[in-house]
A = this chain, B = another copy of it.
Amino acid sequence: MPMIKVELLKGRTVEQKREFAEVITRETARILKCRPEVVDIVFQDVEPHDWANAGKLNSDKT
C-alpha cells in the first residue's frame, strides 16, 4: 500500500534499479511496519532536457 514513485535522471542501469527495489522495499517494510508484498515502486526516467533546476534545463548545464 505504500506506493513509491521515483523520478530520476535517465542513465541509471537496471542493476541499480534492482538493488534500489530490494533495499528500499526491505527498509520500507521495516520502518512503516507493512508486508513487502504491499510495497510498489515505480521508476520514471527523465531526460536531461526535461528537468530544470533554478530555471536551467539539465541538458544546458556544463
Task: Annotate A1-43 by CB proximity to B: 1 below 8 A, 0 otherwise.
Answer: 1111111110010101111111111111001110011011111
Asked if A53 is at the interface of the complex by the 8 Å CB criterion, the answer is: yes
Q: Which of B7, B39, B42, B52 contacts A55 (CB 8 A)?
A: B39
Copies of this protein chain in the complex: 6
**Interface size on A (CB < 8 Å)?**
49
Are B2 and A60 touching (Cβ within 8 A)? no
Are A21 and B59 touching (Cβ within 8 A)? no
A59 neighbours in B (Cβ, 8 Å): 14
4 extra interchain contacts, Cβ-Cβ under 8 A, other than A7-B42, A20-B27? A39-B54, A40-B40, A41-B52, A42-B46
